[in-house]
Each structure stands twice: as C-alpha cells, then as structure tokens.
Amino acid sequence: MWKKTWGFAEGFAIGGGLLLSGLMLQLTVGPVCWDLFAFPANLIAIVLLVGALVVMAYFRSKLYFFRWITTPQAAVPALFYAVVLTVVMGLTRQVSSTADPIDPLGISKMLSFWPFVLSYLWMSVIVGEIAIVQIIRLVRSEMPLSQRFYMLPSLVCHIGLFIVVVAGTLGSADMKRLKIYTVVGEPEWRALNEQQNIVELPLAIELNKFILEEWEGDSIEQRMPKRFASDVQVLTKSGKNIHAVIEVNMPLTVDGWKIYQYGYDYEAGVMSQMSVFEVVNDSWMTVVYVGIYMLLVGSALVFIVSQRRKGKEK
C-alpha cells in the first residue's frame, strides 16, 4: 500500500503505529513527565514545533509525505484515534496529575498516557500544517479580497484548534493547584502543594467567619451540610483588598488565581473556626480561551459563508 498514492489505509496504519509505540514507551519508561515541560521549556517546544511545521510547508513540493499530511486521508484517521482515546478518558476514572495510575497500563492517568500524547501530537502536527499551508495560500493568492474571505473560516478553525490542543497540553505543566488552611482572624499567605511543600502566595486570605447551614430534621441525610461557605478578606501584593463570600461551586478570581471553598473542621461543624481553600493558577488558560474563541468565530464564519453561497446560487 505504500507504493501507491496514500489514502485512509496509510492514515490508520500510522495512527495504529503511534498507539503501539506509545504502549511500548508506557511500559518501558513510564508515563509522560509533564513537569519537564514547565516554562520556559513548553514555550521552547511550541516554537520548535511551529518551526518544524514551517520547514515542512517549505519542502511540500519535494516530499510527498509533507503534502499528504494535509489531506483528509491523514486528518480523518488522526481525529478518529484522538476521539476514541478521549472517549476512553471520559469513561474511566482519572487520578490527579501527581498520583500514580490505578490500572496496569496507565489509562487512569490519560493526560500522561503515551498513546494519548502521541495521538494528540500527530493530530496537532496535521492541524498546524494545514493552517500554515492555508496562510501561505491566502497570502500568495491573487484573488480579490472578497473571494479570499471564503478561505477564512477553515483557517480560523484550524488555528483555534491548534492553539487549544497545544496550549492545553504543554501549558498544563505550569498549572499550580494548592491548598491553603485559614483560621478566623489570621491572614494566611502560605499554601501546600500536592507534595505537601510550603509555597508562598502573592495573596493572603483572612477568614472572617465560617458559614454552615444544615438540613432540618433528625435523619442522617438531614444532618448533612446544606451549604457551607467562608466570609473572607483577600489581600494581594498589588494592593487589592477584596471582601467576598466563597462557597462550593462559586469560586473567587483574583489576579489570575481562582479560590475555591474546599473544606472545614468537620468535627466542629457549625462551630468551625477553620476553612480550607483550594487555589488554582493556570497561566495558559487565557491562551486556551483565545483558541476556543477562534473556534467559535470560525464556526460563525462557516455559517456566514454558507449563507452567502446559497444566496449567490439563487
């Protein structure tokens, strides 16, 4: 099959080969260590990836493989494998980034599972290369601007998808997820990471009052908390002094940090003088949102273009 024009068979063969290679890596070297890609390593990796894609676009006319990866015969199988692995991830229990997998293969830690990573890398290469080729065609095209508009929807969608996948994976190495324990009347700026090491924060949380509402009645279920929240004062190095009430599923966002209500002194109950918060900082999330918005804009452009074409056909 490799001697003729490549089609879907070759696409599925490459995807299957990546899965097998990933399994071999998983069994020999263990899960992907994303900590190695913390800033600036992740930024360097992105620059190298984009540079490699530009080089591939430059040599498209000389190497058939570089032309083939921008075809549906390459893209559809790559998307198929990525979707299947994503569905598997959604159907299996996933552990935290610092915990060990709870299954022999490592599927319970899918973001560090080599077959998953290689499949998404392959899909990113295809999507990124398509976007670069589309940019080159758009720049070199001699068509009027009105006709170039019809090339934009696909380009915007491909760039948006590339940003979401690459920034969402490589950027995860910079995510900080910490626990901060506070007591009434004492500002606390120290937190614990998942290795139980102390980390100083650029903000302090002072607990004014812990709030607990219980269900009425005598049964066990009615004695469970109906609502628990914390009345807090948040102080930042940038000079902010914010008063807020933080409760479950209603986090507070301050200077890029999300503060979630996490726990309290369960033995003391309504008399608890302590509250536990989870503080999360994901510096790459803004970049991921840019990619998502581009996908939305691209989808809107697809609709607009289709309506214009229908109008012209009439």
Q: Which of 19-23, 76-80, 255-259, 299-303 has the lowest mean pLDDT?
A: 299-303
> What integer is the mean pLDDT of 214-230?
70
Q: Are strands 198-214 and 225-236 parallel, antiparallel or unpaired?
A: antiparallel
**Given this model, what pLDDT does residue 228 score?**
87
Q: Is the dihedral angle over the CA atoms 213, 218, 221, 223 positive or is it negative?
A: positive
- pLDDT tens digit sequence for 156-202: 999 999 999 999 889 888 888 899 999 999 999 999 987 788 999 99
- pTM value is 0.82
Q: Which of 92-101, 157-166, 207-216, 289-298 has the lowest mean pLDDT?
A: 92-101
- pLDDT tens digit sequence for 271-299: 889 999 999 998 898 999 999 999 999 98
- Position 98 pLDDT exceeds 80: no
d(Cα 244, Cα 232) in Å, to the nearest integer? 6
- pLDDT tens digit sequence for 107-164: 999 989 999 999 999 999 999 999 999 999 888 877 777 777 888 899 999 999 999 9
**Given this model, what pLDDT does residue 10 score?**
94
As a whole number, the mean pLDDT across the chain is 89
- pLDDT tens digit sequence for 27-41: 999 999 888 888 899
